[in-house]
Amino acid sequence: MFQYDEKALKDQLLELIRLASTDLPKDVVESIQAAQQNEDEGSAARNVFGMILKNIELARTESTPICQDTGTNIYLVYIPEGVSMRKLTALIHEATSEAVERSYLRPNAVDSITGKNSGNNIGEGQPFIHFEEWDNDYIEFKLMLKGGGCENVSTQYKLPDVGLGAGRDMDGVYKVIVDAVNAAEGLGCAPGILGIGIGGDRTTSHLTAKTQLFRKMTDTNPNSDLSEMELKLLADLNKLGVGPMGFGGNTTILGVKMGAMHRLPASFFVSISYMCWAYRRHSMILKSSGEVNYD
């Protein structure tokens, strides 16, 4: 039976939140650095990337949030058999509340009926925590902070889409994604990273899109059709010229990550989860020895 020290784990989760909010992952920073080099000398786009990189460094050294919108806190938690999900949820809530007190997180949970802010970033469905049991003898917590600006430009299509001439095939999938990124302009804090969910129902399609965003920037999709489509979309979407923050430039999208699910014969959904450049995600592994590793 997997056991852990509750007090220690609460502090370790607090550190995971601090990292997620203040320390942009290395693969993302490298991707932004490469994008900067790809913009013309003296251009607005290159200048914007310079400010973005400076901000990333400042947030890390001063341990303050990269972006004031500390977003929806999305947790994927993988547990060995017998670990209580209710206890882990309570610890995540405790760490969340303390993270607000320490200004790592903004109180971001607003009652949709009364308009009242809960004050501690906890409310119905916030943070979002998804558990899965696995065979490993350790717990893994994956955390992503996804801001409202990019969530608002995220969208879902159902194929066929007559207006776009998008049929029920991969060519149709391609067309609606181009349409979505063009419609997003700079509003989602471009350059964005796209998580794409193909198939499923309305809910699982979006969930697939979001979980794709936990992949590393540099990985390769194991499905060769999707891998090819990811590269094609990345190249073509950067022809749109939206540029960082919509100021124009060579970089509109930093990465495309696609996943597919089986669908009903009647349904063909394509979900596009747009993530801003402040692509905040970290993970933590808790071993039975009590040792933790952050990534």
* Sheet-wide strand order for 292-294: 128-133, 72-79, 139-146, 280-286, 292-294
Among 2, 138, 247, 294, binds other proteins (CB under 8 A): 247
Residues 191-230 that bind other proteins (CB under 8 A): none
Task: Compute the distance between CA of residue 149 and CA of residue 190 in angstroms, rounded to an integer.
Answer: 10
| 7: contact with other proteins by CB under 8 A | no
Q: How far is the CB of 65 from other proteins (least distance, A)?
A: 4
Task: Compute the distance between CA of residue 69 and CA of residue 146 in angstroms, rounded to an integer.
Answer: 8
Q: How far is the CB of 243 from other proteins (least distance, A)?
A: 7
Site string for other proteins, 159-198 (x = CB under 8 A): -----xxx--------x--xx--x--xxx-x---------
Residues 43-62 that bind other proteins (CB under 8 A): 44, 48, 51-52, 54-55, 58-59, 62
Strand partners, 197: 259, 271
Task: Identify which of residues 45 and 286 has a Cβ nearer to other proteins in the complex.
Answer: 45
Task: Identify which of residues 5 and 57 has a Cβ nearer to other proteins in the complex.
Answer: 57
How many Cβ atoms from other residues are within 10 Å of residue 290's Cβ?
12
**In whole angstroms, how far apart are CA 272 and each of 109, 165, 195?**
23, 18, 6
Angle between helix axes 224-237 and 170-184 (nearest 10 degrees) is: 30
Task: Identify which of residues 77 and 194 has a Cβ nearer to other proteins in the complex.
Answer: 194
How many Cβ atoms from other residues are within 10 Å of residue 213's Cβ?
20
Q: Between β-strands 269-275 and 280-286, what pairing exists: parallel, antiparallel or unpaired?
A: unpaired
Tokens at 77, concatenated: 């938690």
Q: How far is the CB of 170 from other proteins (least distance, A)?
A: 14
Among 11, 43, 97, 107, binds other proteins (CB under 8 A): 107
Task: Identify which of residues 175 and 215 has a Cβ nearer to other proteins in the complex.
Answer: 175
Tokens at 7, concatenated: 């007090």
Instruction: Tell me the number of residues near other proteins by CB under 8 A.
Output: 54
| 235: contact with other proteins by CB under 8 A | no
Residues 118-147 that bind other proteins (CB under 8 A): 119, 147
Q: How far is the CB of 173 from other proteins (least distance, A)?
A: 12
| 64: contact with other proteins by CB under 8 A | yes
Task: Compute the distance between CA of residue 289 and CA of residue 135 in angstroms, rounded to an integer.
Answer: 17
* Four-residue CA torsion sign, 91, 97, 103, 104: positive
> Is 209 in contact with 197 (CB distance < 8 Å)?
yes
Task: Identify which of residues 152 and 203 has a Cβ nearer to other proteins in the complex.
Answer: 152
Angle between helix axes 85-101 and 6-22 (nearest 10 degrees) is: 50
Q: How far is the CB of 161 from other proteins (least distance, A)?
A: 10
Tokens 């049991």, located at residue: 133
Interface residues toward other proteins, by CB under 8 A: 44, 48, 51-52, 54-55, 58-59, 62, 64-70, 103, 105-108, 110, 115-117, 119, 147-149, 152, 164-166, 175, 178-179, 182, 185-187, 189, 236, 239-243, 245-248, 276-278
